[in-house]
């Protein structure tokens, strides 16, 4: 079993400091450590440990991954036959089960030997504590919007002239970034898996966006999933929390009761103290400081939440509101997240392939008042799309693909939404685009917002989004202006 790959960075993501040398991990110098999972972040972790003087024994169930590691100079050792009493820690890839549905066998062996089970974020935190404990560090989590908010924070800091290092779950492994330093701000997206492996996570600013059902197979219950995510802000010097859902609101209340600084963000009012929005206008303590109207990269209320959280995080690091507003206006957006791919006549093509659950698709549908030709489907998640019933009036027609076709068709029938079974994305795109072009609507939106994982037909949401772009380009080429 290999670790889950982190998301590939978008071409439009802010550029981070080149980190070819990465961050050597000296906190395990001279000690023997086990490492399981030799995907991208696992290899980066092994290199960092070796560079810092650790004695590494690495393993992966995949022969191909083991071969790549050996070629890179990483010592490959079959951990099944290893002496676990000799290990100071187990470094676990975030893609490997820690607790649910059951602990991985390496976790059981480590616990029996009394060795802590940690990940690359924890190693970074220990290096920061040893090297430069005051080095600015922003960590971001939430079910939806993590990557956009992370990239936006890095963009705003770069716009303000700050040196930034962008990575974590958004792309570059954290230990492949340059080391923590007082003049350098690390901006790091953290998944719940990574937080679970980082007991000393203590960012300068922690951002907690939202909680909706996701990854329950890995955390057992949504309450445990939310509790794991809350750890990121619990250890932060300043917590930025979007309190639009019950889990995040409760987290903010707990931290405030403990006397910790909390910057509250609301997108559903009121417009008093804290960070809020009035339509596309962003407010701090009731006073507008920026306007997202006309922004193609920060469209919709969910992106207002992302922008408010990013603004609050950057303001906590001393950036003024005028600089923040100017930075928001120049943010190019991220690929596969409400990405405007093309416009032809009355037809707008939006690639929201990252919408892998119903809550994400909800945000996309709310961004348009109507005229949506919706492409959806894939490998469904718990709950399907029944929660989107209140938005069905915005949909002109739905185009179904993948494994979810029959279950989604039943929901759409109940909601009286016209739909077609298309099977694959190429068919869905052609039918949706043809219908949108012929609709006569002032604006017809061909929206890929699948509300599903991609793994029935694609290796990743990125691959699905790239196919959407390709199919749009082919449709446009066949109909020259």
What gap in Å lies between CA 47 and CA 22, rounded to an integer?
A: 9
146 carries a ligand binding annotation: yes
Render 446-479 in DSSP notation, one character per residue: EEE--SSBSTTT-SSHHHHHHHHHHHHHHHHHTS
148 carries a ligand binding annotation: yes
Beta pairing class for 287-291 and 281-284: antiparallel
User: Which tokens belong to 35?
Assistant: 């490492």
145 carries a ligand binding annotation: yes
Render 69-128 in DSSP notation, one character per residue: HHHTTPPB--GGGS-GGG-S-EEE-TTS-SSSSS--HHHHHHHHHT--EE-HHHHHHHHH
* Structure-token match 């071409």, residue found: 11
423 carries a ligand binding annotation: no
330 carries a ligand binding annotation: no
- Cβ-proximal residues to 378 (8 Å cutoff; 6+ apart), any chain: 356, 401, 402, 403, 404, 450, 451, 452, 453, 454, 455, 456, 457, 458, 464
Distance of CA 214 to the CA centre of its chain: 12
354 carries a ligand binding annotation: no
144 carries a ligand binding annotation: yes
What gap in Å lies between CA 357 and CA 320, rounded to an integer?
A: 35
Distance of CA 325 to the CA centre of its chain: 23
- Feature table: binding site for ATP: 142-148
Binding residues: 142-148
């Amino acid at each position: 079993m290999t670790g889950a790959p982190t998301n590939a960075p978008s071409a439009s993501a802010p550029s981070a400091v080149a980190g070819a040398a990465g961050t050597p991990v000296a906190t395990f110098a001279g000690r023997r450590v086990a490492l399981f999972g030799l995907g991208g972040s696992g290899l980066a972790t092994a290199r960092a440990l070796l560079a810092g003087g650790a004695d590494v024994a690495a393993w992966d169930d995949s022969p191909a991954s083991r071969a790549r590691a050996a070629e890179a100079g990483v010592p490959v050792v079959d951990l099944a036959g290893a002496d676990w009493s000799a290990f100071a820690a187990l470094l676990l890839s975030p893609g490997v089960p820690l607790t649910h549905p059951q602990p991985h066998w390496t976790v059981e062996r480590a616990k029996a030997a009394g060795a802590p089970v940690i990940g690359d974020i924890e190693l970074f935190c220990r290096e920061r504590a040893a090297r430069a404990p005051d080095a600015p560090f922003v960590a971001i989590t939430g079910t939806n919007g993590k990557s956009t908010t992370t990239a936006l924070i890095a963009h705003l800091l770069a716009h303000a002239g700050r040196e930034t290092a962008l990575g974590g779950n958004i792309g570059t492994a954290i230990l492949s970034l340059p080391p923590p330093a007082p003049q350098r701000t690390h901006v790091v997206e953290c998944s719940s898996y990574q937080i679970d492996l980082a007991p000393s996570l203590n960012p300068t600013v922690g951002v907690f966006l939202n909680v909706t059902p996701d990854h329950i197979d890995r955390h057992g219950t949504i309450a445990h999933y939310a509790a794991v995510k809350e750890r990121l802000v619990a250890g932060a010097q300043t917590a930025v929390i979007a309190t639009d859902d019950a889990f995040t609101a409760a987290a903010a209340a707990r931290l405030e009761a403990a006397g910790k600084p909390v910057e509250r963000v609301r997108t559903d009012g009121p417009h008093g103290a804290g960070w809020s929005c009035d339509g596309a206008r962003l407010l701090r303590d009731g006073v507008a400081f920026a306007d997202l109207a006309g922004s193609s990269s920060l469209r919709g209320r969910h992106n207002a939440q992302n922008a408010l959280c990013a603004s609050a995080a950057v303001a906590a690091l001393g950036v003024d509101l005028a600089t923040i507003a100017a930075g928001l206006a120049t943010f190019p957006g991220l690929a596969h997240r409400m990405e405007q791919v093309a416009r032809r006549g009355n037809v707008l093509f939006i690639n929201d392939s990252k919408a892998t659950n119903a809550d994400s698709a909800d945000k996309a549908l709310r961004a348009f008042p109507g005229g949506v030709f919706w492409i959806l489907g894939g490998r469904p998640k718990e709950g399907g799309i029944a929660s989107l019933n209140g938005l069905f009036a915005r949909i002109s027609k739905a185009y179904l693909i993948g494994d979810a076709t029959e279950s989604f068709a039943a929901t759409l029938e109940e909601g009286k939404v016209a739909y077609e079974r298309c099977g694959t994305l190429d068919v869905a795109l052609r039918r949706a685009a043809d219908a949108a072009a012929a609709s006569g609507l002032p604006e017809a939106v061909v929206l890929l917002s699948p509300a599903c994982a991609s793994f029935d037909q694609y290796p990743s949401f990125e691959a699905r989004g790239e196919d959407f772009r390709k199919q749009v380009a082919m449709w446009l080429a066949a109909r020259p202006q």
